[in-house]
Amino acid sequence: MNRLVFDKNIEILEKKYPAWAEILQKNRRKKKDFDVVIETSYTDEPIMKINNQGRALYLNGKYAPSAAADEWLLRQGGIDEFATIIIIGISNGVHIKKIMESVPKTVNILVYEPSYEIFQRAMEEVDLSFMFHMDIPVGVVVSGINDFEVEGYFRRFISYDNMIFLKIYLSGNYKKLFPKEVEGFLKKLNSHFKDIKVNWNTTVRYTDVTTGNTLSNLRHLYEGYSMAELFQILPDGFPVIVVSAGPSLDKNILDLKKAVGKACIIATDTAMKPLLNAGIIPDLFVIVDGLKPAELFEHKDISKTAMVTMTAVSKEPMALHKGRKFFYYGGAPFETELVRAVSAIKGRDVNLPNFPGGGSVATFAFCTGMYMGAETIILVGQDLALAGNKVHADGAFKDEKVKIDMDSGEYLEVEAIDGGTVVTRIDFKLYLDWFEEAVKKWPHIKVVDATEGGALIHGAKNMSLKNAIKKYCVKEYNVRWHIARLPKLFQTKEEKEYGLRYFEDSINRMEQVKKMAKEGVRNYDKIQKLTKTWSGSRKQLQNAYKKIKKINIFMENDEVACMVTDSLKGIEYTLRPSIYKIEKNESDEIEEIAKQGKLMLEAIMIGAEEIKQILEETLMPYVERQKEANNEE
């Protein structure tokens, strides 16, 4: 061991990763079937040789270790300023230092060492202090020390914006020495890439759907209620039962009849048909999904239960349900402006609550119960797991068979509520974690898990539904009667007329959005022309930039323009990575910015026209009918 080198490495390591320094000082190398030998190269650099089963394998070459890094950098043809570089294998660190010195300071660098023994040997013999300097953005993952941080570094260093710029350096002979570890690391990296694509594709997919849903559902908001009316509506000591459609609901669904009138029964959307088929009419049901199929709501009694929803949910369920609808804020700019104006007319604060619901319809139903004032919430059908090949209770969907492949990475085992283990999906596990965190976060809420099967929710009190009803459902209170007497969002004739005028004005304002976008395109054309020939004055260029800035401010602040831009995630999906690409000279940089700006504004022109057509086809006929009805009153 080179004591001077080791002490220097430990000193700098203690400042950044003190726990690592402690591990290195206390834990000696474990006995392996290979030896790490330090030699000196012809260029006077320390090199590592692995004696493995009679073979001598040099890491990063035998003669000139830094040459491998030089060759790699040459092959890359330049590193983009916002790229991420992953280096597999620390070895003697020469390649890492070379790369760090050669790339832009804005680059993220992640170093993965699959062998604790090699890392410790390198710390003893090679100056690696440059890797742990506080001012240098390098992430380091070492097997046996912080493997669990791999995914965290992926999330921090690799996003949709910069994923196309990713570069990977694989140190010499690491794949031969550690095939399983390297393959596992690359598999996690590939999984992260898939997650990025899925998340963005989901965003793009839901964006178009969300815009269409919101525009079609505005008329329901006009006729609906604010969820704020439900705040603290329940009396003290009155419990909420949240009914989900897990497979175990088939076991105890009929027991819920004894809770009617003695608890506020809040159903998830998928639980509605099984409940109605059993003759149980919940007090509320929750829907949060923009793609829920109409079949879940095709029941003659669906409208007897009030709905908790937002404008972005599926338009088919909205149309099928004729009952009361309580809205929370769905993020649409139209909603904000409309409700703000109603507040001004009424002279009091009217709002759609910005309601954090936990990510699933079941967690949202749980939060709804808390919002209404319940201090005891009983969970039923909250399996968060699969029963055989079933995901939902009978009657929720026509066909619910699932083929479970434990090697696919989509399924895992968790503790079961009745002992042993049960199979769950990754998304269910996230919701399981949410419920367990909720128990800790809100200790004033008694959570009773009366689900007769599925995953164990740590912290919840487990008991049968019969016993839970007997113990907690002891008061009489007609929740549906009180809900039926809550005031609508738009009440007076003045308020109703304002809402209809607002809808009509939105069509005209779409024309204004198109006009502004068209003007922006003209100015980008002017900028491109001026920069290609440089024949115009700087003042002309500055004037064009000022007009573009004014248009961008309009697009960012006008709620009708925001509705259009929010619907264009697909375009943003295409443009965002190129935003981070740096051009070689000022002219090329301006040209690229102008090209991207024109593309976005041209898309806004098309989007504004499409939204205008949707408004004319869906909202305007409704507005005309309502104006006639209001005049007859």
pLDDT in tens, 421-447: 888 888 888 899 999 999 999 999 999
Give the pLDDT score at 240. 97
Do residue 90 and residue 234 come from a single domain? no
Domain carrying residue 609: 506-632
Domain end marker among 483, 498, 514 = 483
pTM: 0.63
Do residue 470 and residue 327 come from a single domain? yes
Asked whether residue 216 is assigned to any structural domain, the reply reads no
Do residue 87 and residue 148 come from a single domain? yes
Do residue 172 and residue 299 come from a single domain? no
Residue 86 contacts residue 108 (beta carbons within 8 Å): no
Domain end marker among 468, 483, 498 = 483
Do residue 511 and residue 472 come from a single domain? no
Do residue 527 and residue 453 come from a single domain? no
Which token pair is 448? Answer: 């009773």
Asked whether residue 202 is assigned to any structural domain, the reply reads no
Q: Residue holding tokens 């999904």?
A: 289
Which token pair is 307? Answer: 């709905």
Q: Examine the pLDDT at 399 and tell me if it is beyond 50.
A: no
Query: Which residue type, as a one-letter code, is found at position 340?
Result: R
**Alpha carbons 27 and 10: distance in angstroms, whole number:** 14
Query: Which residue type, as a one-letter code, is found at position 534?
Result: W
Asked whether residue 186 is assigned to any structural domain, the reply reads no
**pLDDT tens, position by position, 346-372:** 666 677 888 777 778 999 999 999 999
Q: Examine the pLDDT at 54 and tell me if it is beyond 60.
A: yes
More confident call, 57 vs 217: 217
Strands 306-309 and 284-286: parallel
Do residue 145 and residue 10 come from a single domain? yes
Asked whether residue 217 is assigned to any structural domain, the reply reads no
Do residue 124 and residue 241 come from a single domain? no
Q: Which residues contact 177 (CB under 8 A, 6 or more apart)?
A: 34, 50, 52, 57, 115
Which token pair is 326? Answer: 């309580």
Q: What is the mean pLDDT of residues 225-234?
A: 94
For the purposes of burial, counting CB atoms within 10 Å of the CB of 188, is it exposed (0-12), middle (13-18) or buried (19 or more)? Answer: middle
Nearest to 598 by CA among 533, 518, 539, 538: 518
**pLDDT tens, position by position, 100-145:** 888 888 888 999 999 888 888 888 888 888 887 755 568 888 888 8
Mean of per-residue pLDDT scores for the chain: 82
Q: What is the mean pLDDT of residues 445-453?
A: 94
Give the chain's domain count: 3
Query: Which residue type, as a one-letter code, is found at position 504?
Result: E
Q: Which residues contact 478 (CB under 8 A, 6 or more apart)?
A: 261
Strands (E), 114-177: 138-142, 167-170
Asked whether residue 127 is assigned to any structural domain, the reply reads yes
Nearest to 569 by CA among 131, 70, 200: 200
Asked whether residue 497 is assigned to any structural domain, the reply reads no
Q: Examine the pLDDT at 575 and tell me if it is beyond 70.
A: no
Do residue 237 and residue 119 come from a single domain? no
Q: What is the 8-class DSSP label of residue 232?
A: T
Asked whether residue 459 is assigned to any structural domain, the reply reads yes
Q: What is the mean pLDDT of residues 212-226?
A: 87
